[in-house]
Amino acid sequence: MSYNSIYKTNFFKSYKEVFGKLNKDQKILSRESTWLIGFANVNPDKIFSIFELPPFVPNDNSVNNFLDSLDVITVSNKLKKAKPSQGTQSYLRYKLHLINYLEINKHKWHKNEIPFYGEVFVKK
Protein backbone atom coordinates (compact mmCIF):
# COMPACT_ATOMS: atom_id res chain seq x y z
CA MET A 1 0.00 0.00 0.00
CA SER A 2 1.26 3.43 -0.83
CA TYR A 3 1.15 6.48 1.44
CA ASN A 4 -1.81 7.69 -0.63
CA SER A 5 -3.84 4.54 0.03
CA ILE A 6 -7.32 5.26 1.37
CA TYR A 7 -6.66 2.50 3.94
CA LYS A 8 -3.86 4.47 5.60
CA THR A 9 -4.45 7.34 8.00
CA ASN A 10 -3.66 10.69 6.40
CA PHE A 11 -4.84 13.67 8.43
CA PHE A 12 -4.27 16.15 5.58
CA LYS A 13 -6.61 14.22 3.29
CA SER A 14 -9.28 13.37 5.87
CA TYR A 15 -9.57 16.23 8.35
CA LYS A 16 -12.43 18.06 6.62
CA GLU A 17 -14.64 15.00 6.56
CA VAL A 18 -13.70 13.88 10.09
CA PHE A 19 -14.10 17.35 11.61
CA GLY A 20 -17.42 17.77 9.78
CA LYS A 21 -18.88 14.99 11.95
CA LEU A 22 -17.85 16.66 15.23
CA ASN A 23 -19.10 19.53 17.39
CA LYS A 24 -18.56 21.08 20.83
CA ASP A 25 -21.53 19.31 22.43
CA GLN A 26 -20.34 15.77 21.74
CA LYS A 27 -18.44 13.40 24.01
CA ILE A 28 -15.83 11.82 21.73
CA LEU A 29 -13.50 8.83 22.09
CA SER A 30 -10.50 8.77 19.77
CA ARG A 31 -6.99 7.42 19.38
CA GLU A 32 -6.22 10.85 17.91
CA SER A 33 -7.58 12.87 20.82
CA THR A 34 -4.66 15.34 20.76
CA TRP A 35 -5.24 16.02 17.04
CA LEU A 36 -8.93 16.66 17.66
CA ILE A 37 -8.30 18.97 20.62
CA GLY A 38 -5.67 20.90 18.69
CA PHE A 39 -7.46 21.38 15.40
CA ALA A 40 -11.18 20.48 15.50
CA ASN A 41 -14.02 22.67 16.77
CA VAL A 42 -14.67 20.48 19.82
CA ASN A 43 -14.80 20.90 23.60
CA PRO A 44 -11.46 19.60 24.98
CA ASP A 45 -13.20 18.55 28.20
CA LYS A 46 -15.39 16.16 26.21
CA ILE A 47 -12.58 14.43 24.29
CA PHE A 48 -11.39 11.09 25.63
CA SER A 49 -8.34 9.14 24.57
CA ILE A 50 -8.49 5.46 23.69
CA PHE A 51 -6.32 5.06 26.78
CA GLU A 52 -9.38 5.74 28.95
CA LEU A 53 -10.19 2.11 28.15
CA PRO A 54 -8.26 -0.41 30.28
CA PRO A 55 -5.87 -2.91 28.64
CA PHE A 56 -7.93 -5.71 30.21
CA VAL A 57 -11.61 -6.68 30.47
CA PRO A 58 -12.99 -5.54 33.85
CA ASN A 59 -15.40 -7.66 35.88
CA ASP A 60 -18.11 -5.02 35.77
CA ASN A 61 -20.06 -2.99 33.22
CA SER A 62 -17.90 0.15 33.58
CA VAL A 63 -16.49 0.08 30.04
CA ASN A 64 -19.86 -0.46 28.39
CA ASN A 65 -21.39 2.27 30.53
CA PHE A 66 -18.60 4.64 29.48
CA LEU A 67 -18.99 3.74 25.79
CA ASP A 68 -22.77 4.16 26.05
CA SER A 69 -22.22 7.70 27.39
CA LEU A 70 -20.33 8.79 24.25
CA ASP A 71 -21.73 10.59 21.20
CA VAL A 72 -18.87 9.80 18.79
CA ILE A 73 -16.26 7.04 18.54
CA THR A 74 -13.52 7.43 15.96
CA VAL A 75 -11.74 4.33 14.69
CA SER A 76 -8.79 5.29 12.53
CA ASN A 77 -7.03 2.88 10.22
CA LYS A 78 -4.02 3.17 12.55
CA LEU A 79 -6.09 1.95 15.49
CA LYS A 80 -7.36 -1.10 13.56
CA LYS A 81 -3.85 -2.23 12.63
CA ALA A 82 -2.54 -4.95 14.93
CA LYS A 83 1.04 -4.21 15.86
CA PRO A 84 3.22 -4.73 18.91
CA SER A 85 3.15 -1.84 21.31
CA GLN A 86 4.67 -2.26 24.76
CA GLY A 87 3.96 1.26 25.96
CA THR A 88 0.51 2.14 24.66
CA GLN A 89 -1.29 -0.99 23.45
CA SER A 90 -3.91 1.02 21.56
CA TYR A 91 -4.79 -1.93 19.31
CA LEU A 92 -5.32 -4.13 22.38
CA ARG A 93 -7.88 -1.65 23.74
CA TYR A 94 -9.63 -1.57 20.36
CA LYS A 95 -9.68 -5.37 20.20
CA LEU A 96 -10.84 -5.90 23.81
CA HIS A 97 -13.54 -3.23 23.90
CA LEU A 98 -14.52 -1.51 20.68
CA ILE A 99 -14.81 -4.34 18.14
CA ASN A 100 -17.47 -6.26 20.10
CA TYR A 101 -19.19 -3.17 21.49
CA LEU A 102 -19.66 -1.59 18.06
CA GLU A 103 -20.89 -4.86 16.56
CA ILE A 104 -23.38 -5.57 19.35
CA ASN A 105 -24.60 -1.97 19.40
CA LYS A 106 -24.50 -1.21 15.66
CA HIS A 107 -28.20 -0.27 15.74
CA LYS A 108 -27.30 2.66 18.05
CA TRP A 109 -24.56 4.12 15.85
CA HIS A 110 -24.31 5.58 12.36
CA LYS A 111 -21.07 4.37 10.76
CA ASN A 112 -19.31 6.91 8.51
CA GLU A 113 -16.49 5.46 6.41
CA ILE A 114 -13.93 8.16 5.70
CA PRO A 115 -11.19 7.62 3.09
CA PHE A 116 -7.66 8.18 4.41
CA TYR A 117 -8.91 7.97 8.01
CA GLY A 118 -11.15 5.02 8.88
CA GLU A 119 -14.56 5.19 10.52
CA VAL A 120 -16.42 7.73 12.62
CA PHE A 121 -19.36 6.32 14.57
CA VAL A 122 -21.98 8.90 15.54
CA LYS A 123 -24.73 7.97 17.97
CA LYS A 124 -28.16 7.87 16.28
State pLDDT tens for residues 19-66. 999 999 999 999 999 999 999 999 999 999 999 999 999 999 999 999
What gap in Å lies between CA 95 and CA 107, rounded to an integer? 20
| pLDDT for res 14 | 96
pLDDT, tens digit, for every residue of 82-115? 877 666 789 999 999 999 999 999 999 999 999 9
Amino acid found at 67: L
| pLDDT for res 80 | 92
Domains of the chain: which residue ranges? Answer: 11-123
CA torsion through residues 65, 92, 31, 11, sign: negative
What gap in Å lies between CA 83 and CA 85, rounded to an integer? 6
Query: In terms of Cα–Cα distance, which of 21, 31, 33 is closest to 95?
Result: 31
What gap in Å lies between CA 44 and CA 23, rounded to an integer? 11
What gap in Å lies between CA 14 and CA 16, rounded to an integer? 6
Amino acid found at 119: E
Burial of 94 (0-12, 13-18, 19+ CB in 10 A): buried
What gap in Å lies between CA 100 and CA 13, rounded to an integer? 29
